Amino acid sequence: MNPLHFMVVGAHPDDPENMCGGLALLMRKKGHKVTFVTGTDGSAGHHLMDRASLAARRAKEAEKVSQL
């Protein structure tokens, strides 16, 4: 079977892995490609962190998830 390419789209940086992380991991283990796309940089929504720090933290988290 030819590998498929799945794209998971979410509004926020943690949406794709929260909603489809298990499925994405299963598809990767079967040899398929999975791409996560988010509509924002994740710089909003924290009560203590400034926007730049929060966006950097979320980018680092996303990079870590992509290594699985």
pLDDT in tens, 28-54: 999 999 999 999 998 998 999 999 999
pLDDT reading at 27 higher than 90: yes
Looking at per-residue confidence, does 61 or 35 come out higher? 35
Mean pLDDT within 6-29 = 92
| Token pair listed for 62 | 């996303």
The answer to whether 59 touches 42, Cβ cutoff 8 Å, is yes
